[in-house]
Amino acid sequence: MNKKIAVIAIGGNSLISSKGKESLEDQHMAVFETARHIADIIEAGYQAVVTHGNGPQVGFILARSDLAAHEIHRISLVIAVADTQGAIGYEIQQNLDNEMRRRGRKSRTVSLVTQVLVDKNDPGFKNPTKFIGGFYEESQLPEIRKNHPDWILKADANRGFRRVVASPRPQGIVELEAVENMVKAGFNVVTVGGGGIPVIEENGRLEGVPAVIDKDLATCLLAEKLKSDLLIISTGVPQVAINFGRPDEEKLGRVKAGQMARYLAEGHFPPGSMGPKIEAALNFLRNGGREVIITDPPNLGAAIKENKGTHIIN
């Protein structure tokens, strides 16, 4: 491989910029903007391996399935994740290649529908915690349970009831060899979308399971396996901060991994927001990675060229 590899995780803010901008046209424009920032990283001398979130999009697919259930069969969670990998991957690869052509540079990007192996005995299956799909009133629960006897429903922050599914830890990337071969051939690759399609191995066969894998943990595993030079986690803020939202808030620039681990242990990064990203970053560094950058999409290029964002180093 001639170029350095940057594994880039783009979050939901890269696909849906704000509430009320959720149409396909809005998402296309959001990906168009994000592709410009990824192109900056490629121009800086990196080959891009891109992962992406898909939470809202999976929710939309499942909602459409429910609304059309009187006319046509419902879509499973596993198929919804696969659908979003194809649709979002198409948007990223087309916009990224168009942007590189606009800059007068040759670029080839390919998307790969990707399965991620999980342990069927993972504790997450016994205590599902990942909310997916829309909200339901308590009065709707008997009908929901009648139509979906296998669903587990829990209250979500006093906003109603939602379906919860397991969030097992990723153990392996089934199509890893294909990703490696495409990278060696010079392609930028879009893969492990939404954390990957979760599968378990049963009697030598792979089977999809209704679960959602944390995107950042799956991205970290991918970066480790590819021996990536750099892991970039795109999020909604330009820099990570401690004491977030308080008068003594402190934005972090260049931080050693050990110091960041102490901040994590002190509770600065909540499990529902920045916590999984910091955990993924530290896992990558513990397993041989050299640097992780966390910033928002507009600062991706500046993070490479001007040290913007938060840089976590060994």
Sorted by where each begins, the domain ranges of the chain are 4-118+168-313, 128-165
Question: Residue 14 has what pLDDT?
Answer: 67
| From 95, 188, 215, 283, the catalytic residue | 215
Regions of the chain short of the pLDDT cut 50:
1
Question: Residue 13 has what pLDDT?
Answer: 59
184 is catalytic: no
120 is catalytic: no
Question: Residue 236 has what pLDDT?
Answer: 84
Q: What angle do CA 293, 186, 51 make, to 5 degrees?
A: 40
Question: Residue 1 has what pLDDT?
Answer: 46
Beta strands 46-52; 230-234: pairing state = unpaired
215 is catalytic: yes
| Domain 4-118+168-313 falls under CATH 3.40.1160.10 | yes
95 is catalytic: no
